[in-house]
């Protein structure tokens, strides 16, 4: 059984993901134990199969070679059923690691390796690859919060000595006059670090509160013409938007909902991991979701001045 698995196409892809990772190695070990258990169960139920296995183990039997070939075909079939195709799994996991980091990559590997139904795993990979492409493309074309110099962000709040060249734009009027009409004096003040500029108070990035529908209908596909990604599931598109906001939009609070409303999440890493491992199920009760969001705002003053999505 082990030698057949090692010779299988899936083994090389699996070994790259599970190498030096005990948790992921255990996931695959359990799958192999399922293969082994299936063989034992079939031997108990089927006398002809049991005799075939015993013949395969008997090197002196004249039929051992044919029996070994039949046993290997049985083992290969069970490996295909329990392990499935691992093509693109390692590639997808590596993409996730590059975008979100090792910890999220390991979470995704765990999800993909733990999925027993091969078509569902392939659908997850397709969703993840669409999600990654959306996020990578959007990161360079859409800014949720403008990327401005920190010195230029905020409101004027007093006067201070200039510490960075980018603060020259905020010089007080008298310093501008010196720069224009008394360049030697201005140069001396600049060299001594005595040029006065207007001080800006930092403006916090907006808080974003999101309600995310994870009901069964979110698995339906829609055509997205942006970035030429074609047809993808609604949950993938929603997830991409949420991840972009989590990565670029400052503080974030999220509640998932379907027929029920789930606990609020505020840690970005937890939100990203949850988004990438969603399995849309059940119906939709948006009324209770909105009520929960309103109650959150009433209970937490920090959520009252917030961008709602």
Q: Which of 201, 221, 237 is the last residue of a domain?
A: 201
Q: Which residue has the tokens 């906001």?
A: 245
State residue 220 phi and psi, 5-degree precision. -65, 150
Instruction: Give the pLDDT of residue 145.
Output: 38
Please, which pLDDT band fits residue 138 given cuts at 50, 70 and 90? low
Please, which pLDDT band fits residue 270 given cuts at 50, 70 and 90? confident
Cβ atoms 153, 202 nearer than 8 A: yes
Residues 288, 224 share a domain: yes
Helix axes 22-45, 64-82, angle to 10 degrees: 130
- Looking at the domain assignment, is residue 130 inside a domain? yes
Residues 188, 252 share a domain: no
Q: Which residue has the tokens 């997205």?
A: 224
58-115 tens-digit pLDDT: 877 777 888 889 999 999 999 988 888 787 888 888 888 888 778 778 888 888 888 7
215-257 tens-digit pLDDT: 888 777 665 554 444 556 777 777 777 777 776 656 778 888 8
- Side-chain-side CA neighbours of 113 within 13 Å: the count stands at 27
Residues 89, 163 share a domain: no
Residues 272, 254 share a domain: yes
180-190 tens-digit pLDDT: 888 888 888 88
133 compared with 65, residue with greater pLDDT: 65
- Looking at the domain assignment, is residue 143 inside a domain? no
Alpha-helix residue ranges (DSSP H) falling in 159-254: 173-181, 183-192, 234-248
Q: How far apart are CA 51 and CA 127, in angstroms?
A: 45
Q: How far apart are CA 31 and CA 83, in angstroms?
A: 7
Residues 15, 133 share a domain: yes
CA angle 253, 254, 256 (to 5 degrees): 165
Q: Find the mean pLDDT for residues 112-131.
A: 78
- Looking at the domain assignment, is residue 176 inside a domain? yes
pLDDT at 154 over 50: no
3-state DSSP assignment of residue 227: helix
- Looking at the domain assignment, is residue 145 inside a domain? no
Residues 184, 229 share a domain: no
**How many structural domains compose the chain?**
3
Residues 115, 11 share a domain: yes
9-67 tens-digit pLDDT: 888 888 888 888 888 899 899 999 999 999 999 999 999 999 999 888 887 777 788 88
Residues 119, 10 share a domain: yes
Residues 190, 84 share a domain: no
Domain of residue 18: give its range. 2-138
Residues 162, 232 share a domain: no
Residues 124, 55 share a domain: yes
Q: Which of 201, 222, 241 is the last residue of a domain?
A: 201
């Amino acid at each position: 059984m082990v030698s057949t698995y090692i010779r299988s196409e899936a083994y090389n892809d699996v070994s790259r993901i599970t190498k030096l990772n005990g948790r992921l190695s255990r996931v695959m070990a359990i799958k192999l134990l399922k293969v082994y258990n299936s063989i034992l169960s079939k031997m108990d139920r089927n006398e002809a199969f049991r005799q075939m296995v015993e013949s395969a183990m008997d090197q002196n039997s004249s039929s051992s070679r044919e029996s070994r070939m039949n046993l290997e075909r049985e083992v290969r079939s069970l490996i295909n059923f329990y392990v499935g195709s691992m093509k693109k799994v390692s590639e997808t996991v590596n993409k996730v690691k590059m975008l979100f980091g090792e910890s999220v990559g390991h979470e995704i590997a765990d999800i993909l390796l733990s999925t027993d139904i091969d078509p569902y795993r392939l659908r997850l990979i397709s969703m993840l690859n669409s999600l990654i492409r959306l996020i990578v493309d959007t990161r360079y074309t859409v800014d949720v919060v403008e990327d401005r110099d920190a010195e230029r962000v905020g409101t004027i709040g007093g006067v201070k000595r200039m510490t960075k060249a980018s603060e020259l734009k905020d010089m007080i009027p008298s310093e501008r006059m010196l720069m224009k009409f008394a360049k030697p004096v201005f140069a001396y003040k600049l060299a001594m670090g005595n040029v006065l500029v207007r001080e800006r108070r930092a403006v916090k990035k907006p808080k974003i509160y999101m309600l995310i529908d994870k009901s069964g209908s979110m698995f339906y596909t829609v055509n997205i013409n942006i970035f030429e990604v074609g047809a993808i599931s609604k949950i993938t598109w929603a997830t991409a938007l949420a991840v972009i906001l989590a990565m670029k939009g400052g503080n974030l609070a999220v509640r998932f909902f379907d027929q029920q409303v789930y606990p609020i999440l505020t840690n970005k890493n937890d939100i990203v991991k949850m988004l990438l491992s969603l399995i849309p199920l059940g119906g939709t009760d948006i009324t209770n979701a909105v009520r929960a969001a309103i109650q959150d705002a009433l209970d937490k003053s920090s959520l009252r001045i917030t961008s709602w999505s």
